[in-house]
Amino acid sequence: MKVTVEITRRPEIADPQGTTIQRALHDLGHNEVMSVRVDRVIHLEVQDDDPNDVRARVEEMCRQVLANPVLEDFAVEVSE
Amino acid sequence: MKVTVEITRRPEIADPQGTTIQRALHDLGHNEVMSVRVDRVIHLEVQDDDPNDVRARVEEMCRQVLANPVLEDFAVEVSE
Amino acid sequence: MTTAAQPLHRRLGMTDEEHESVLGLLRRDPLPAELAMYSVMWSEHCSYKSSRAHLRRFPTEAPWVVVGPGENAGVVDLGDGWLAALRIESHNHPSFVEPYQGAATGVGGILRDVFTMGARPIALWDQIRFGPLDDPKNRYLFNGVVSGIAGYGNAVGVPTVGGEIEFDPCYTGNPLVNVMCLGVLRREQLTLGTAGPPGTVAVLLGRATGRDGIGGASVLASASFDDESQEKRPSVQVGDPFEEKKLIEACLEMYQRGLVAGVQDLGAAGLSCATSEPAGRAGVGLDVDLDQVHVREMDMTAPELLMSESQERMMAFVPSEKVDAVLGVAERWEIDSAVVGTVTTGGTLKVRHQGEVVAEVPAASLADDAPLYDRPMRRPDWIDDLWATPALPLGGDPADVLLRLLDDPAIGSTAWVHEQYDHMLFLNTVIGPGSDGSLIRIRGTEKGLAVSSDGNGRLCHLDPRAGSARLVYEAALNVAVTGARPLAVVDNLNFGNPEKPEVMWQFRESVEGISEACEALAIPVIGGNVSFYNETEGVDIHPTPVVGLLGLADPMPRQPPRLSRAAEGMEIWEIGTGPTSNLAGSAAQRVVNDELIGRPTPPDPGAARQVIALTNGLAHRVPVLHDVSDGGLAVAVAEVCIASGIGARVAVDDPGPLFSEDPHRVIAVFDPGTVVLPIDLARQVGVIGGDSLILGRSGSIDLETLTRTHRDAIPRRMAG
Amino acid sequence: MRTAVVVFPGTNCEMDVAHAITALGGETELVWHRHEDLSNFDGVILPGGFAHGDYLRTGAIARFSPVMDEVGRMAAEGRPVLGICNGFQILCEAGLLPGALIANRDLAFICRFVDLEVTDTDTVLTRSTELGQRIRIPLNSYEGNWVDPSNSGRVALRYLDDPNGSQQRAAAVANDGGNVVGVMPHPERGIDELLGSGDGRALLEGFLHSLVPA
Ligand SMILES: Nc1ncnc2c1ncn2[C@@H]1O[C@H](COP(=O)(O)OP(=O)(O)O)[C@@H](O)[C@H]1O
Ligand SMILES: [Mg+2]
């Protein structure tokens, strides 16, 4: 099964990378860009047929290694 | 308008981060994980009301700077 | 939860008595923003309320001291118009909450303390301590901290040229992350944290202010650590080395062009500190308009703006006619800036927000009227028991013990750590990580700056006074092996809960030990930092003072001694009073017997001075000089063999003399007949040669095994 | 004969490069990235560091700096253009060199001396060296892993071991003309035996010998 995990930085945590990219886009003339934030998506392929089971396992992986609970939230999506 | 850009690494390009994460997951006993790929998502807020226009602009930003054509492909999604 | 019902001052971490003092000072109920400012400024972290009385014990004067404790960094004179600035700081609790960002922001903060003085930061050191690496949580913390130091230090462009690592179960719930920074400057660039005369304009430079780190000083760094800390997580700050790099360059340009009257960094307590301290120091007042502060989040309240610990910000105090020039420099370096205040006569700090006065307090009171605690002290009973128990003898073959020591992550190679740090930038690192002291040249002069930092929690647990004193002597010897003469000390006092009389006693003893050693060597303490409340679930860490010592080699040896310069046929001499066999607190005692007992050999100031002086002279003449510390003589010789890629034959095979860590000893390696050493202070212990290390009749270890064991000590554990 | 050393916000090796070039008898000037005119210079070096914090991708934002048009012009005119470390990354992003640089195989920053072998002497960096010559200089990067799906780069220096996973073990890559070179290890950190090696001198001397008056 294919699983997509989006890891997003918590809104209250500063995002220097987003700020810098926004500045660069303005420099390039894209002044219409109001905000930028960069997150990570992790695509996993998991050998298992039960979507609920897969979701539970991947959520555990997120808590263990994929996401940093202090700074980030995660959302798991199981497909096929 | 909110725009989401997913920047994916081309399959033929090595992904040290994905490899490392997969190894870490196996170390933790998650042997069911067959593959891991780490991509980036960029969330933009763009001041403009015409979705087509927004898409065209963001695609241009992608070609210019957000993605590196040697390594990456991109997909733009405009919402609201 | 009862928190909602608690009065504001308690929610801010203030005691009722402290709240009473504020009432007494202001003769009225404080406004919320005022209470916020007092709470952070009077926190343990910012006010040193438990330690201040003891810190007065330190000797702080010497003819070469330009700025002593009390400013952002200590400054000493190096001659010919050159000055050096040095400061050390801890980021223990933030690094436990989020190791990468905690360590990264620690680096950012220590850099700001140094470039606030007008100095260009030229080198960093890290002193880090964790629980044993067989616990995955400790590996996670260790890895995160090292990556954070690398991530920030490398990107900001200041080399990390050394440090130290220790592992002990006492740090499992409470890792220690200290960082130290050295800067150099020309005398005319010296800048102080003063607000300047009335009319001077306060310009806030750098990153926009957000809600990050609110209460970091009062909440995270000034209280014990427990499960509730989980809820304190929103105070995590995120560092931006890119912004800091620009800020460094912009500030240095301002100093060079003489545009500022004073500068203060925004660290703990943020704007509260950066407004009140400089005004207090200058004996003036300040009008601040919070609406001018550039922000990253909407609807921030006045207390939030005053307490935020957003990183990479500096406050410049600028004569009014130079404000445009300062704003121009900021723009050129692509950093944000805002005029936020004006210096006034009279000493009142007046803060406005959205048209209202939200605070109006005597500026100096935030720093000067902070509470001062004389906390009870008691010598713990268990010390005598520890001293009375004789250490177990070291069983086993010495060659075997040596291999086990080299495989210890605190003794094995630090390459896994220091190869993640850029330690070569600026082309000044003559001696970098992996040796005793670091040696940094000042190009265009004959001068070399030698720096060493030393801590030893186990030694200080057994004897906080003697242990702390020995740190100073060890650091002095470490700089002596590069040919440098000790100049000054900074200290980072990492201790447990000061509300416990035993911890306070350890603290006092440690201050006493450092002071005595400094006096014996005639060097001053020019700055430092105190970190209390290093305990988890009621268990305190070992008392862990860390001493950073700056030495000056002028001239620097043309060919400084290096571990890698030993060659076939050279003699190995041990310098220092002998014989020695006390194993109390040694690495061998820990590794072989897993115990911590006995009374370590106290320092001998006379012998220390003699050995340091002798070593200092030898540094200009011998190819290898190496101080004998962790792991004793055996490890010292093994390290020379590994670095030089050659074996040695050592005449000693008694475990005592081989593994004892008694103080004031170095080994010197040189061609026969090239050096004459005083017989009462030195003895030959072996010769260099062959392809194995032979310890008397006890056995031999081939060079390859020696090298591999040493190299893999950390990597093989980090591989999981 | 003058070399421009370009400074982007976040660059940090500019002073080291300027020092090394000066020590070898060359003449340099630090040029801010907003500069639009390099007509006074005969060659250009993009030094190492973290331009724009390495945010987004290393070199991605820097390549839009106004000065980069001039760097492109000099490259096209056949003048010596050298990118060291982050400068290499910028030249790839700008399309002046083939390929791109991604994270080291082991996902760790690497700062240590590495041993290299000269595999092409027909470039501005290696012209004063000999084929097969061994060179020892420091590597100092997190994203030093060169990939080139087009297989079109000329590898001028190769690692003897494989520290970071770089394709063909490439440590330095040149364009077809040999006048644009990117090198991941730092030649400017190898000009003084007191600091561990003098092998970088031959590389920078090659660059200086390639300068011809504009
Ligand atoms: N253990 C110590 N020994 C000597 N000086 C100290 C010690 N702890 C703190 N100081 C001095 O007190 C002053 C204030 O420190 P601190 O409030 O931590 O500064 P900052 O706000 O810059 O972090 C500094 O000059 C520091 O050197
Ligand atoms: Mg400070």
> What pLDDT is attached to residue A56?
94
Interface of A with B in 8-47 (CB under 8 A): 21, 24-25, 28, 30, 32-47
> Under a CB-based contact definition with an 8 Å cutoff, are residues B48 and A32 in contact?
yes
Q: Which of C452, C482, C454, C483 is nearest to C468 (CA)?
A: C454
> Under a CB-based contact definition with an 8 Å cutoff, are residues C316 and C205 in contact?
yes
Average pLDDT over residues C309-319: 96
Average pLDDT over residues C481-503: 97
Which residue out of D104, D145, D146, D147 would a mutagenesis test of the B interface target, given it has the greatest number of B Cβ atoms within 10 Å? D147
How far is the C-alpha of C714 from the C-alpha of D96, rounded, in Å? 41
Higher pLDDT, C436 or C611: C611
**How sure is the predictor about C699, in pLDDT bands with cuts at 50, 70 and 90?**
confident
> What pLDDT is attached to residue C233?
43
A15, A16, A70 member nearest C243 (Cβ): A16
Ligand 2 centroid – CA C179 distance (Å): 13
Ligand 1 centroid – CA C179 distance (Å): 13
Cα C685 off chain centre by = 35
Residue C231 pLDDT more than 80?
A: no
How far is the C-alpha of C452 from the C-alpha of C479, rounded, in Å? 6
The residues facing D82 across adjacent strands are D45, D181
Ligand 2 centroid – CA C252 distance (Å): 17
- DSSP-assigned letter for residue D79: -
Coil vs helix vs strand at C711: helix
Which ligand is nearest the CA of C40, by number? 1
Residue C224 pLDDT more than 70?
A: no
The number of domains in chain A is: 1
Mean model confidence pLDDT for chain C: 94
> What pLDDT is attached to residue C1?
39
Which residue out of D8, D54, D55 would a mutagenesis test of the A interface target, given it has the greatest number of A Cβ atoms within 10 Å? D55
Chains that touch B (3 or more CB pairs under 8 A): A, D
Average pLDDT over residues C414-420: 98
How far is the C-alpha of C203 from the C-alpha of C264, rounded, in Å? 11
**How sure is the predictor about C229, in pLDDT bands with cuts at 50, 70 and 90?**
very low
How far is the C-alpha of C334 from the C-alpha of C206, rounded, in Å? 9
Residue C698 pLDDT more than 90?
A: no
Give the residue whose CA is nearest to atom 19 of ligand 1: C72
pLDDT tens digits along C531-590: 999 998 889 999 999 999 999 999 999 999 999 999 999 999 999 987 788 999 999 999
- The secondary structure element, H or E, covering residue C76 is strand C74-79
Helix (H), strand (E) counts: chain D: 4, 11
Looking at C633-688, which runs of residues are DSSP E strands? Answer: 648-650, 666-670, 682-688
C97, C238, C242 member nearest A14 (Cβ): C238
C242 interfaces chain A, CB cutoff of 8 Å: yes
CATH of domain D2-209: 3.40.50.880
* Per-domain boundaries in chain D: 2-209
pLDDT tens digits along C633-692: 999 999 999 999 999 999 998 999 999 999 999 999 999 999 999 999 999 999 999 999
| Phi (first) and psi of residue C538, to 5 degrees | 85, -10
Residue type, C117: M
Ligand 1 contact, C661 CB (< 6 A) = no
Helix crossing, C241-256 with C99-115: angle to 10°? 0
Describe the strand order of the beta sheet including B72-79 as a list of residue ranges: A72-79, A2-9, A33-46, B33-46, B2-9, B72-79
Ligand 1 contact, C44 CB (< 6 A) = no
> What pLDDT is attached to residue C578?
78
pLDDT tens digits along C96-132: 989 999 999 999 999 999 999 999 999 999 999 999 9
Cα C110 off chain centre by = 9
pLDDT tens digits along C273-308: 999 999 999 999 999 999 999 998 888 999 999 999
**How sure is the predictor about C230, in pLDDT bands with cuts at 50, 70 and 90?**
very low
Identified catalytic residue from D85, D92, D93, D143: D85
pLDDT tens digits along A10-23: 888 888 999 999 99
Ligand 1 contact, C491 CB (< 6 A) = yes
What ipTM was reported for this prediction? 0.93
Contact residues on chain D for B20, CB-CB shorter than 8 A: 106-107
Give the torsion through C-alpha atoms of B26, B28, B33, B37, to 10 deg. Answer: -80
Give the percent of chain C with pLDDT over 90: 88
Q: Which atom of ligand 1 is nearest to the CA of C87?
A: 27
**How sure is the predictor about C225, in pLDDT bands with cuts at 50, 70 and 90?**
very low
Ligand 1 contact, C529 CB (< 6 A) = yes
Residue A5 pLDDT more than 90?
A: yes
For this structure, is D188 an active site residue? yes
Ligand 1 contact, C266 CB (< 6 A) = no
How far is the C-alpha of C466 from the C-alpha of C444, rounded, in Å? 40
Which CATH number goes with the domain that contains B35? 3.30.1280.10
Coil vs helix vs strand at C441: strand
How far is the C-alpha of C128 from the C-alpha of C144, rounded, in Å? 12
Average pLDDT over residues C50-61: 96
| Phi (first) and psi of residue C84, to 5 degrees | -125, 140
A20, A27, A28 member nearest D55 (Cβ): A20
For residue A74, give how far its alpha carbon lies from the nearest alpha carbon of chain B (Å).
Answer: 13
Largest pairwise CA distance in chain D: 44
Q: What residues in chain D have per-residue pLDDT under 50?
A: none
Q: Contact A65/B21, CB-based, under 8 Å?
A: yes
How far is the C-alpha of C84 from the C-alpha of C571, rounded, in Å? 37
* Residue carrying structure tokens 């400094």: C518
Ligand 1 contact, C527 CB (< 6 A) = yes
Residue C3 pLDDT more than 60?
A: no
B29: containing domain: 2-79
Substitution site in C116, C529, C532 for ligand 1 pocket (most atoms within 8 Å of beta carbon): C529
Ligand 1 contact, C69 CB (< 6 A) = yes
Residue C219 pLDDT more than 70?
A: no
> What pLDDT is attached to residue C216?
66
How far is the C-alpha of D196 from the C-alpha of D211, rounded, in Å? 28
For this structure, is D85 an active site residue? yes
**How sure is the predictor about C391, in pLDDT bands with cuts at 50, 70 and 90?**
confident
- What tokens appear for C641 in the block? 């063999």
Q: Contact B10/D149, CB-based, under 8 Å?
A: yes
A34, A35, A40 member nearest B38 (Cβ): A40
> What pLDDT is attached to residue C220?
55
